[in-house]
Structures are given as structure tokens and as C-alpha cells.
Amino acid sequence: MKPRVLHRRRRLALPACLAALALLVVATAVFGQEVKDLIVGPATAYNPIHDHAPSALEESQFRRVYDALCDASCGPIKLTRNITVPTAAMVVQLRGARLIYSPTFMDTIMKIYGPSAPLGVFAHELGHLLDFRRGNVGWMHNSWDRELRADSWAGCALAKLNMPQRDTSGVLQALAQSPTHSHPDWTKRVEALKKGYAQCGGQPHILDTLPLEQYGQTSASPNQ
């Protein structure tokens, strides 16, 4: 009788193995789609062969934002300059993530808006990673798309960084100049930024006295 029992168990185990394999394939396909969706900005021409290390200042500014927003859920993130990216993008990988950005764009916004300008761009891209890891958090409207959720995380970062109003203004003006084809209207982005800023303890008068709506009317992008 024992051989028959073993034979039946093996036959029963096969469907279970096939089901597990099918689940793995589905999960991989879904995850692959999410990775594709998290390449933010017109980065379809991104070529890793052009990856280069960030400047010391850019690395320092990125670390400020990372420390303000991230916990263990963010995982390791590699900061990379790349001339094939028009502005900036976050790429989620199986192990960690990569934040890629245009050195021309970054140099331009720092020249116009000051050395703190990268903070808003980096915060927005980290917002995409947090949105992927955590999903829609309590203060965010269900109607917001992923761009507005990322903007709200950027507002949260600005609150935690607690910068002087002049630096905050430069950061937000630089952020307004980094749209993609999928970004909502700047007025809607301002609403999301303010919501995240208030939720994370920002001082209301800092943003309330800035002409935020005007920031989206000019462009510093080297691509325009």
C-alpha cells in the first residue's frame, strides 16, 4: 500500500507546484508593469551606458531629502547623472532603486534658483518610490494620480527640512520647471504640495505668503 500512497501524494503535489509557478509568473508580470510605470518623465530613451556619479553637492542634497522622507521601506537608492534623461526619473528595480537625472537640467535650475533647487526634484522622485512602497496614505485624496501623490510627498519633505522661506521658494520654482507629459496642471500640484506640507508639520505662513501659482508660468528647462 505504501507505494500507492506515495504515488498519490506525488500526483497531488504536482498541481500545487504548477499553481505556485503560475503565481510566480503572474507576480513577476505585475511587478514588471509597476517597474515600468515608475519610470517617471520622458525617460524612454534612458541609456545606462551614460550613467555617471553625481556631484558632491547633488549627493548632499539628495541625502537631506532621503533622511527626511525615507525609512527602511525605501531601500538602497543609487543617484545617477545621465545625459539621456530630459529632467529626472525614478526607476524601481528588483533590489533597490535608481534616481536618474539630467546634469544639464540640474545645473540649470541650480544656476537660476540656487544650490537648494535639486531638493524639490529629488523629493518628488522619492515620492514616487514611497507611493509604490506604501500606497495611498491617509491625507491624500483618492482622486489624485501618482504625480500628485509624489508632489504631496515632496511637500512633506519640505516641511521636514524646515528651510527658510527664500530657499523654499527656490525649491518650489525649480520643481515647477520639471514637468513631464503626465504631470497635472501646476495649480493642482500646488494643492497637493500644500497638503503634504501641512500634514508633515510645515509652518503655514511659509507657503501662504509665496506666489506659488505664478511659479508654473515660466520655464527654466533646457529642453524648451
Q: Evaluate if residue 15 carries a pLDDT over 50.
A: no
Residue 169: the pLDDT is 95
Residue 62 has pLDDT above 70, yes or no: yes
For residue 112, pLDDT beyond 90: yes
What is the full DSSP assignment across the chain? -HHHHHHHHHHHHHHHHHHHHHHHHHHHHHHHHHHHHT--SS-TT--GGG-BPPPHHHHHHHHHHHHHH--TTT--EEEEE-TT-SSEEEEE-SSSEEEEE-HHHHHHHHHHH-TTTHHHHHHHHHHHHHHHHH-S-TTS-TT--HHHHHHHHHHHHHHHHT--HHHHHHHHHHHHT---TT---HHHHHHHHHHHHHHTT--HHHHHTS-GGGGGGS---TT-
Cell of 197: 506640507
Kindly tell me if the per-residue pLDDT of 55 is higher than 90: yes
Average pLDDT in the chain: 80
Least confident window among 2-16, 53-67, 109-123, 206-220: 2-16
Q: Is the pLDDT score of 5 beyond 70?
A: no
Which is more confidently placed, 17 or 127?
127
147-189 per-position pLDDT tens digit: 999 999 999 999 999 999 999 999 999 999 887 556 678 999 9
**Residue 38 binned pLDDT confidence (cut-offs 50, 70, 90):** very low
pLDDT attached to residue 211: 92
pLDDT at 193 exceeding the cut of 80: yes
Write phi, then psi, for 115 (nearest 5 degrees).
-65, -15
Residue 136 has pLDDT above 80, yes or no: yes
Residue 120: closest CA among 49, 76, 179:
179
Arithmetic mean of pLDDT, 36-49: 62
